[in-house]
Amino acid sequence: AQKVTQAQTEISVVEKEDVTLDCVYETRDTTYYLFWYKQPPSGELVFLIRRNSFDEQNEISGRYSWNFQKSTSSFNFTITASQVVDSAVYFCALSEEGGSEKLVFGKGTKLTVNP
Amino acid sequence: KAGVTQTPRYLIKTRGQQVTLSCSPISGHRSVSWYQQTPGQGLQFLFEYFSETQRNKGNFPGRFSGRQFSNSRSEMNVSTLELGDSALYLCASSLGLPRNEQFFGPGTRLTVL
């Protein structure tokens, strides 16, 4: 069965601090996809990244970076030099191979960046 | 390019009523998925439609149903509303090719009194 665990319910940091959001997943499939989404207070989920199970390269996009480790079934997300605008709920999600776009989401981590 | 639109944005209903929510995907997208978001259960998959066919369904009672039209627009219906159906209902669209990113709409906030 698919499962995504985001153990950190809430994180509070001061602006310019680095912060890492943890994501651990469970799946029996060898082919799967992992995603991160951001949900600002407005409510709309914003796509951040997609990674397939065969690509373990870390990725950096500006202040955002992602660390995918199949050995520990983790797909962690780091924000460097956080800003107030980064305040949001962040969701990690898993999609397995097959003819469906179904996403299984973690419970989310609420990040508050204080000025 | 216009994003995913959902109507209405807010809805207040009473127990026992039924409700229909609408979702217009991004132009060219053929897959539409629906999710329910509540504080207790988080984001849960309801169903997905691709080219007017339901491709997958989550673990929700039969009171929840949906459909997709030939222009890819989708509707979901909830009959005999219960208090626990109060939630943010999110619609997402994608090209429908394997594991393309899904783009979400702003959601419909349903309150059941």
Is the CB of residue A95 less than 8 Å from the CB of residue A102? yes
The number of residues making up chain B comes to: 113
Neighbouring residues of A59: CB distance < 8 A, sequence distance ≥ 6: A49, A51, A65, A66
User: Which chain B residues have a beta carbon less than 8 Å from that of A95?
Assistant: 99
Q: In terms of CA atoms, which chain A residue is nearest residue B39?
A: A107
Is the CB of residue B105 less than 8 Å from the CB of residue A46? no
Residue B98 in this model has a pLDDT that exceeds 70: no
Give the confidence band of B92 by pLDDT, cuts at 50, 70, 90: very high
Q: How confident is the model over A18-38, as a mean pLDDT? A: 94
Q: Are strands A88-96 and A104-105 parallel, antiparallel or unpaired?
A: antiparallel
Q: CA distances (Å), A8 to each of A54, A89, A90, A106, B49, in order? A: 26, 11, 10, 10, 33
| pLDDT value at residue A56 | 82
Q: Could you read off the pLDDT of A40-89 as tens digits, one per residue?
A: 988 889 999 988 888 888 888 899 999 999 999 999 999 999 999 999 99
CB contact under 8 A, A95 and B99: yes
- Measured CA to CA, the distance from residue A32 to residue B5 in angstroms comes to 28
Handedness of CA A83, A85, A86, A89 (dihedral sign): positive
Residue A4 in this model has a pLDDT that exceeds 90: yes
Which token pair is A27? 């799946």
| pLDDT value at residue A99 | 63
- Measured CA to CA, the distance from residue A69 to residue A62 in angstroms comes to 21
CA distance B53 to chain A (A): 11
Q: Could you read off the pLDDT of B30-51 as tens digits, one per residue?
A: 999 999 999 999 999 999 999 9
| pLDDT value at residue B99 | 65
Give the confidence band of A17 by pLDDT, cuts at 50, 70, 90: very high
Is the CB of residue A102 less than 8 Å from the CB of residue B48? yes
Q: How confident is the model over B67-87, as a mean pLDDT? A: 97
User: Which chain B residues have a beta carbon less than 8 Å from that of A99?
Assistant: 55-56
- Measured CA to CA, the distance from residue B34 to residue B92 in angstroms comes to 6
